[in-house]
Amino acid sequence: MSPTNPRTLPYGMAAIAEAAALIRAGECVAIPTETVYGLAADATDSRAVAGIYAAKGRPSFNPLIVHVPSLAAAERIAVFDDRARDLAMRFWPGPLTLVLPVRPDAGIASLVTAGLDTIAIRVPRHRAMQALLAATGKPLAAPSANASGGISPTRAEHVVRSLAGRIPLVIDDGATPAGVESTIVMGERILRPGPLGAEDLGLAIAVPDGRITAPGQLDSHYAPSKPVRLNAAEAKDGEYLIGFGAIAGAETLSAGGDLTEAAANLFDALHRADASGARAIAVAPIPESGIGVAINDRLRRAAH
């Protein structure tokens, strides 16, 4: 592969020390979370945050999620009401992002919030991201570690393929367990479906009303380089069929019809389908329940 590839280091103390040194020097580093690989930089350093937008080719009106080690650290950056604190205590560390008023004196670079008076914040569970937070002592802004609009990365090699030549380091700690991005909650509404479903949270999913509620929830996203057809019962000519349950394909998200397993395999399957020789991608129907809601959300955007 080309010499401009980022270095990939297996997770461990040496890798975290190297990543922390890069973060302190204002660079960004790709690191796994329990959802997807993130591209992390010091959220208090506007030049470092600008580096995230540059590496991803991300529009600067699309704000980033800030990762912190604990609820106490989050309360120093955002203003919690009782409902938010209750959700945080129940689901952090974990794949839940809360959108809350930002404390203007917290030192978060305005590029992180894209100038909004709210901030998206979460406490991740993954050991690698937690270790990097501890080693840097900084809040870390981290969007998914893919070029803007592309398929989210659930493996280090996905990051390398998407961001080669644009970042210095990827920490490899294997496949991410959940496989889809965190559930985003604002007030009583879910802005982005994720691993925690509406039933888990006791909240309703925001009804799209023409406005973009989470600025990053653009219709077209997670887009492979070839057409995607949904609810496919079989492969038509030249299609790479991604199966589920009784529908077998070139591969399956879960032969047993398990939605958690399907979410964990989703982006990896899309990456493989995209890299295959097939003309187009077809995906079997996925039940619209639990994490299936998040899977279908990502698939609709991939197909848009």
Q: With binding defined as CB under 5 A, does residue 44 bind Mg ion? A: no
Q: What is the DSSP string of 17-69?
A: HHHHHHHHTT--EEEE-SSSEEEEEETT-HHHHHHHHHHHT--TTS--EEE-S
Q: Which is nearer to Mg ion, 109 or 142 (CB)?
A: 142
Is 117 strand, coil or helix? Answer: coil
Roughly how many angstroms between the first and final C-alpha of the chain, as a whole number? 31
In the bound complex, what is the minimum distance in angstroms from residue 148's beta carbon to Mg ion? Answer: 8
Which residues within the stretch 233-272 sit at the binding site for Mg ion (CB under 5 A)?
none
24 labeled part of a ligand binding site: no
Residues in CB range of 25: below 8 A, 6 or more apart: none
Which of 294, 304, 290, 287 shows the shortest CA–CA distance to 267? 294
What residues line the site for ligand TXA (CB under 6 A)? 33, 35-36, 38, 62-65, 95, 97, 99, 113, 116, 118-120, 142-144, 181-182, 184, 191-192, 214-217
Q: Which is nearer to ligand TXA, 9 or 43 (CB)?
A: 43
Packing angle of the helix pair 259-275, 292-303 (nearest 10 deg): 20
Among 144, 183, 254, 296, binds Mg ion (CB under 5 A): 144
Q: Distance from CA of residue 77 to its chain's centroid?
A: 21
Q: Which does 97 bind (CB under 5 to 8 A by kind): Mg ion, ligand TXA, none?
A: ligand TXA
Q: Which does 217 bind (CB under 5 to 8 A by kind): ligand TXA, Mg ion, none?
A: ligand TXA
State how far the alpha carbon of 94 is from the alpha carbons of 34, 121, 122, 181, 216, in Å.
7, 11, 8, 11, 21
In the bound complex, what is the minimum distance in angstroms from residue 64's beta carbon to ligand TXA? Answer: 5
Which residues within the stretch 194-213 sit at the binding site for Mg ion (CB under 5 A)?
none
35 labeled part of a ligand binding site: yes
Q: Which does 70 bind (CB under 5 to 8 A by kind): ligand TXA, Mg ion, none?
A: none
Q: Looking at beta carbons, which residue is closest to Mg ion?
A: 144
State how far the alpha carbon of 153 is from the alpha carbons of 69, 76, 149, 158, 257, in Å.
22, 30, 12, 5, 23
Residue numbering of the annotated binding site for L-threonine: 35, 67, 122, 142, 182
Residue numbering of the annotated binding site: 35, 58, 62, 67, 118, 122, 142, 144, 152, 182, 192, 222
Site of interaction with Mg ion (CB under 5 A): 144
